[in-house]
Structure 1
């Protein structure tokens, strides 16, 4: 009988959590079972054919009751029975709050718990986060804590996580799926992929496009994503040429966009709440496709992009330098070609998800 791992996200499974599905689906020897408190069908095709177990009673409760249960870490009897019957070997929770939700599950099912911290779940200031008390519970109850980057590892240490529990492990991406195919667009094309929220910084890219298009009027910006800033961004770009908002795109659509784009831009920034990029899946996917990355040097981005080798990074919110870097690569085919080759090589060497999942399973095996 194959070993089983319960993979927890609060919602099963948002489109923004492609990295969770990619990791679970590429485990060579463990059967992934995706569990959570609520259903989210936007990314359900990512785990098509895999087992799921959602706490259906939770969805039927009023919001106030859900909040009370969250605070009490209450495990509903019917869901406990369903999870017990799965006969899993361990639980892998994604995000710090996921580890908090899973602490009572792990205790009641007598299973080891691994919690992966991805970004804002550890970078957010305590005033805004799920608070130090909850984080302390996660540190205590988790057998191992995975940091998706060295940047996140340092944040965990500063937050008081026992160093002997921390394992720095890159999730990786499917480098076979995200491989260079097709032709680049005839006109200079910059791609943005991400949620349209303050932290992702699309507003700075739009401002930089004014400088870019002054020198390259034919330059195009394609924005793939949605979010609460969308209306504001559409309004602010109304007078610009060649800026297209596509809305949220699935994995296949993102791959096609990355294949045809000349560059991908990641203008993420640290915001007042403390949210930062822990590691950038978009950067890894783009470079695997042979598309160089331009962005801000924030959080763990410099671990995904090697400045001057696979892409160009500039200080946060420096719109002039961002525009300069975009223009440098848009105007130089030899430099783009060099960065493209280096990006493919580096991504395959460091972020191949099949190899990374073999390493992850060795962590699982130690705890089973």
Structure 2
């Protein structure tokens, strides 16, 4: 069995449960997480600079210098290959891989290739400066780049990433964990997404306001938080929806699963942000489909690769709250149609996005790089 190093600068984050799920399903590679900051304990071998790091000095130094000398080389010697998640992390993994003289690959998930580099610069984070300064070097030295959707694959090629190194690979969904359950007595639409511009939660709120009176027994439950939280709460009040919308904040993967099984519709109105930020392919959409929940979303980024419009859900144009409201109304008015779409959605996810199948394909990619 070979050893794979999974590099993520800060880990684990609630919004990135898919990384743990993917890692947990590896069969032929022993994973070791390499992190700058370990937020809490994880059920995997790990090497973290944050352990016994007085005042966070080592973590800050690595952020600034990318020096692999800050890690004990002996603890990394057994690793055969490094897999970094997100473009900026790839630049840090590159330094570690060079010291070990092993190959590395990087998965691009969305913002890391869609946001313009000028917009990244204006964010003022040293992490993004490192990507901008070292991106050309990254293109030369990485063994491969994984794109989580065909859309992201196209974006990588637009940015002149080497075509022969770019591999499109979908992150899988555990269809034995995400499966249909009993619908809740309460009727509700579920939305799971961080409070950022690209999630389009403002569009969803305006759409729900259009159908709320027609369906007085239906509520909207939103899971997530972020920089736009106060604005979204204010918009909810302006629309007169305070009693119909419940913001639950960030929740565990298990809580989200329970909410999905009870939902009547899963809705996510993703859109392109002003700085170009786009989704890759929101894994939460596939999780909802795996639970046999019809999805109403947008023709944005990789989402049309996961939703069969008119069969497993509906897709509308970005920022079109009236079209979104129309599709919500169709399903709310015809529960049998929603159930049919949900069944077809699960069949589609089991065929195309099953975690075990996709992880086997990921290990085949590892095999091609690890010699």
TM-score tier, shorter chain, comes to over 0.9
Partner of 1:319: 321
Partner of 2:107: 116
What is the CA distance between 1:135 and its match in structure 2?
A: 2.1
Corresponding position: 1:50 with 2:54: no
Which residue among 251, 266, 289 is the counterpart of 2:291? 289
Partner of 2:69: 76
Partner of 1:354: 356
Partner of 1:102: 93
- For residues 146-177 of structure 1, the C-alpha deviation after alignment (integer angstroms, 9 at most, x for no partner) is 11110000000010011100111001111110
* 104-113 or 123-132: bigger deviation: 123-132
The 2-side partners of 1:298 and 1:133 are apart by 29
Map 1:183-332 to 2 at 5 A. 183-238=182-237, 239-240=240-241, 241-332=243-334
TM-score (norm 2): 0.92
**Corresponding residue SS for 1:127:** helix
CA contact (8 A) 1:267 1:296 kept: yes
CA contact (8 A) 1:96 1:115 kept: yes
Measured at CA, do residues 57 and 50 of structure 1 come closer, stay the same or move farther in structure 2, by a change above 3 Å?
closer
Partner of 1:156: 156
Partner of 2:124: none
The 2-side partners of 1:216 and 1:78 are apart by 57
**Corresponding residue SS for 1:329:** helix
The 1-side partners of 2:268 and 2:53 are apart by 35
CA contact (8 A) 1:38 1:58 kept: no
Partner of 1:171: 171
Measured at CA, do residues 345 and 97 of structure 1 come closer, stay the same or move farther in structure 2, by a change above 3 Å?
same
**Corresponding residue SS for 1:313:** strand
Aligned residues: 358
Partner of 1:10: 9
Gaps of 5+ in 2: 121-127
TM-score (norm 1): 0.92
The 2-side partners of 1:134 and 1:272 are apart by 25
The 2-side partners of 1:366 and 1:8 are apart by 19
Measured at CA, do residues 116 and 59 of structure 1 come closer, stay the same or move farther in structure 2, by a change above 3 Å?
farther
What is the CA distance between 1:59 and its match in structure 2?
A: 5.8
Provide the aligned C-alpha RMSD in A: 1.8
* 298-307 or 134-143: bigger deviation: 134-143
Measured at CA, do residues 328 and 158 of structure 1 come closer, stay the same or move farther in structure 2, by a change above 3 Å?
same
Gaps of 5+ in 1: none
